[in-house]
Amino acid sequence: MANWTRRGFLGSLSAGAAATSFAAQQRLTQPEKRTGNGSIKITDLRCAIIGRNPVVRIVTDQGISGYGQAESTKAYLRPMVLFYKDYILGEDPTDVEKVLLKIRRLGAFKPWGSAVSAIEIALWDIAGQVAGVPVYKLLGGKIRDRVRAYNGGVRFPMTGQTPQDYAENTARMKESKEGFTLIKQAVGFHNPAMMHAMPNGWYDEPRTGTSHADRGLMTERGLDHVIACVEAMKKVTGKDIGLALDCGPGWTVKDAITFARAVEPLHITWLEDLITGDYTPYPNADLFREVTQSTSIPIHTGEQIYLRQNFKDLIEKQAVNVIGPDPEDVGGIAELKWIAEYADIHGILVAPHGIFDGLIGLAAHVHLAAALPQNYIAFEYPVGQPDWWYEIVDGLPNPIVKRGFIDVWDRPGLGVTFHVQAAKSHLADEDRHFFD
């Protein structure tokens, strides 16, 4: 043990010396990025709604800006982002953890952790630019040169809610140019259209308004219909393409177990958010554990959870087989990596959520996935909304996805930059100074 400890200590010294040497080289080759006392300071925090996504810009006194992004469903976040401005002004953005210590405690479960998460991602973007390295290097380095993405964002309109309709919709996803090796489809209470199209599908009245508000005990008719739709989709994907199901929240434990056992012969990749999830402000590890122990189908949750502390019970109680934190909700990319590492030593897999994360979010996903441990499955692929987003940013591969994978790029920071003049044409009047 003494020899092992000594080798580990000396190895840490060597790594530290190498890092110091590298930093010294960067200071010599990039002096314009430093002030006289060797520091860089945050001078402004801005937020603009570009298309549908809140976009965060952190401005520094050295002419370097970092960008982060929140989900396209959260245009209301601007005041929450700007709330943190006074907390971070004057700080060194490359001291990411120091900055996060000032604001992390002021976030909460989805959607309120999104502002902190977007700021965290923008800080890493700056840190990578200052160091002259891609963000994945700052997360420990990549262990894979390409990262798997699963289909969340490439969607096609539904013409109906029958099993045949779901088979046809899945076939279109299977044929998409991205060549996804894993497709996720919404069923059950995560799919109000599916549930509301069924008369007497569960023992309650359908809810309208806020998303995914339905819950309750399913009728035999309702459960059979969901199972039939899943069988139709799996017949399309076959054995070569995985099929994951986003299911809730809203299921009872007994219905969740019955459903999971019914689809076991189909080898579903995972069942997501059966009990809690999405905008539920708490996990329920004990109930998830009961479902997980009752089926061979992997059980998944986590997209709404903020911070590592709130994954503790799910992981330590072995309550699920797969966790799916979203880097734009969980507290950022370093937070997600810590959670993934902790899950890994407990034998739990990770498949990050990300359907609405936008193109800056996509870049964050790629850098993170490159550095995640080997319990990584895939991240949920987001698309730019509206389509003109692809015209206002540079740095993404073309095509982005090839046969279900994305090649990891090596440009400093997140490696995605704005075509400022093109982007300015899409700014609202109140955001006209965002890029100034």
pLDDT on residue 210: 73
22 has pLDDT over 60: no
- Tell me if 277 sits within 8 A of 301, measured CB to CB: yes
pLDDT on residue 1: 35
Specify the long-range contacts of residues 422-429, CB closer than 8 Å, at least 24 apart: 422/391, 422/392, 423/50, 423/392, 423/393, 426/50, 426/51, 426/388, 426/392, 427/48, 427/50, 428/48, 428/49
CA gap 253, 55 in Å, rounded: 39
Look at the chain and count its residues: 436
Percent of the chain with pLDDT over 70: 91
Per the prediction, the chain carries an average pLDDT of: 92
- Tell me if 316 sits within 8 A of 323, measured CB to CB: no
pLDDT on residue 38: 66
The identity of residue 246, as a single letter, is D
361 has pLDDT over 70: yes
pLDDT on residue 161: 97
Q: Is CATH 3.20.20.120 the right assignment for the domain spanning 137-413?
A: yes
Tokens of 241: 């393409």
Convert the pLDDT of each residue in 215-267 to its tens digit.
999 999 999 999 999 999 999 999 999 999 999 999 999 999 999 999 999 99
pLDDT on residue 16: 38
Between 128 and 207, where is the model more confident? Answer: 128
Q: Calculate the CA dihedral of residues 20, 366, 324, 240 and round it to 10 degrees.
A: -140
Convert the pLDDT of each residue in 38-52 to its tens digit.
699 999 999 999 999
pLDDT on residue 208: 83
417 has pLDDT over 60: yes
Convert the pLDDT of each residue in 25-37 to its tens digit.
333 334 344 444 5
CA gap 197, 179 in Å, rounded: 31
pLDDT on residue 213: 85
Convert the pLDDT of each residue in 155-213 to its tens digit.
999 989 999 999 999 999 999 999 999 999 999 999 999 999 999 999 999 988 777 68
21 has pLDDT over 70: no
How do the domains of the chain map onto residue ranges? 42-133+426-431, 137-413
DSSP symbol at 380:
E
Percent of the chain with pLDDT over 90: 89
| Among the ranges given (5-14, 130-139, 358-367), the one the predictor scored with the smallest mean pLDDT | 5-14
pLDDT on residue 40: 98
Find residue 322's DSSP bridge partners: 300, 349
For domain 42-133+426-431, give the fold.
Enolase-like; domain 1 (3.30.390)
7 has pLDDT over 60: no
